[in-house]
Structure 1
Amino acid sequence: MVGHVLLLVAGLLAAPVRTELSVMTWNVCTGTNSDCRLYRAGAVELAENIGRQALSRTARPGVIFLQEFCTGATGTLELWLERRTGRSWTVGSWGLTGHDGKPYACHPDRLGRPRGAQSIAVAVAGEATFETHPLPAPPWYVRRAAVCATVTATVTATVAATVVAPKVRACGTHLSSGAQYDDRQPGAPYRTRQLQRLLEVAARPGYRTIVGGDLNVSPPDGGYGSAAGRRAVAPFYRAYQECDQRGGRRTGGRTREDKKLDYLFAPKGSVRSCHVAREVTLSDHKPVHMEVALRP
């Protein structure tokens, strides 16, 4: 009898359990757009609204992609998340620069205090290393980049099971819009090159890749927006599964006005759920939440 019990316990210890990751992407529109409610929000207000949205789902948040964030709020967001979740967090932020190399500044907060540069950010629960990968960008407007967080695997043994957290690579970005002030040439060629480069830097052998953000393109089967943009994002659907993909159709619910511009990609077959928070009106973009299984 004792032998059977020992064999059962040994089997449980050896069996990995499914590890899930909760991911959110949100263009918070706080830096320079006066039409948004978080415009000129202070660091504490900004961190609290981002954190509350990340915690609004039942699963604990693990990765947060942010666009039109401000570098001055990076430390405040990290501290807010740590205090509210009881876990350590690491936030990597990259500030945009103009064609002249100067920081693309966020407008001051409502009390006139500086908030740093408008930025993209990736927040990760736990320890991570960060890389910033420049992306092709029009020389007359702001520079673009992807921020990638690399989280190394950890092993936790319990009486019931051995939990192996796979190595994760999470890359977030905000691409050119194709507007007259930005990637204004026919077909927005810089955005196409940005997507090609993003696909290259996001993948890393041995890692489970999560990639997303405000890509400023319409989905391939959406039937709206630039045809060049729809073609340019199609390779991501071949390599990954998109959070809000509708069956075989490469489309999804709107995230800004009447279009889908915000994306979360994960390994094929791993997306467990997707939610677009349409009730949120703090920004001109809707937060997108994804639950992804990191192993079967």
Structure 2
Amino acid sequence: MGHVLLLLASMLPVPQASLAVMTWNVCTGTNSDCRLYRASAVELAGHIGGRALARRAEVIFLQEFCTGATGTLELWLEQRTGRRWTIGSWGLTGQDGEPYACHPDLLGRPRGAQSIAVAVAGDAVAFETHALPAPPWYVKRAAVCADLPARRVRACGTHLSAGTPYDDHQPGAPYRTKQLQRLLEISAKPGYRSVVGGDLNVSPPDSGYGSAAGRRAVAPFYRLYQECDQRGVRRTGGWTREGKKLDYLFAPKGSVRRCHVERGVTLSDHKPAHIEVTL
């Protein structure tokens, strides 16, 4: 009987390993129109962690976060999961090289610089920060990449120039074009599967809206990767901010198991987006 059970067990399909990733521009730093504006570190940790863990995210990309809340979020995630979490964070600087400060919380406490961050569950994570081309008259831009050797995954998150009159509004979106070219280069690592995304501030190539230059600039990602919310062969996706798709999660083609955009979340002007990929 025991041999029969062992034989049957050996015939059962082995569950395929997967990784869940969330990206969210939390809009807490300087935009008074957002509900998380001037939120405390504890409030931010609760909202971000709650959204991430509800879908079992093990990697989190954040934009318009604050460096002063990094440690609080890390501790919150560790206490709720019983696992080690590590966060790689980069604070924006202005044209003068000074930190681009988050406004204080509602009690007047400083919150550090506005930042991008990548949070990762588990041990042995290596972080890299890569500068991206940016207009010299406004804030600097960068990408944070995390290597997960145990899973052979490289996860890179970023927040690109906004395309506003003060941030890459020139014809041809020259800085976002260069930023995306550089992001494509740094997101690849031999022997690793790449998951890359964040608030890219461009529209999908086949969306029919937004800057044509921005749509062209992001097209190379669709040649190499599958976007979380891609509609078949069409390079589109559901909106993530005010009727337009600006937030992306790219993964190896054929690896996307699930994708979800939390349209019901109204804490930020961007919606959290989630991807689950097979490894």
Partner of 1:237: 222
Alignment of 1:112-151 (within 5 A): 112-127=108-123, 128-151=125-148
SS in 1 for 2:72: helix
- Give 2:130's aligned amino acid: H
Counterparts of 2:28 and 2:254, CA distance in 1:
34
Q: Which deviations, in whole Å up to 9, do the C-alpha atoms of 1:188-226 show, x marking residues without a partner?
A: 200000000000000001001000000000000000000
TM-score w.r.t. the length of structure 1 is 0.90
CA shift, 1:186, in A, is: 1.1
- The answer for unaligned runs of 5 or more in structure 2 is none
Counterparts of 2:6 and 2:104, CA distance in 1:
64
Counterparts of 1:283 and 1:5, CA distance in 2:
52
Equivalent of 2:169 in 179, 184, 187:
184
CA shift, 1:107, in A, is: 0.3
Partner of 2:185: 200
Aligned residues: 277
Partner of 2:40: 42
CA shift, 1:184, in A, is: 2.3
Q: Which deviations, in whole Å up to 9, do the C-alpha atoms of 1:252-294 show, x marking residues without a partner?
A: 1110001000000001000011111000000000000111111
RMSD of aligned Cα (Å)? 1.6
Residue 281 (1) aligns with residue 266 (2): yes
Counterparts of 1:249 and 1:171, CA distance in 2:
24
Counterparts of 1:34 and 1:275, CA distance in 2:
27
TM-score w.r.t. the length of structure 2 is 0.95
Partner of 1:272: 257
SS in 2 for 1:55: helix
Counterparts of 1:222 and 1:249, CA distance in 2:
9
SS in 1 for 2:249: strand
Counterparts of 2:250 and 2:78, CA distance in 1:
26
SS in 1 for 2:216: helix
Alignment of 1:7-156 (within 5 A): 17-57=15-55, 60-127=56-123, 128-153=125-150
Percent identity between matched residues is 79
CA shift, 1:152, in A, is: 0.9
- The answer for unaligned runs of 5 or more in structure 1 is 154-165
4+ aligned runs moved over 3 Å, structure 1 = 1-9
Counterparts of 1:79 and 1:239, CA distance in 2:
36
Q: Which deviations, in whole Å up to 9, do the C-alpha atoms of 1:50-94 show, x marking residues without a partner?
A: 01111222xx21110000000000010001011111211111110
SS in 2 for 1:18: coil
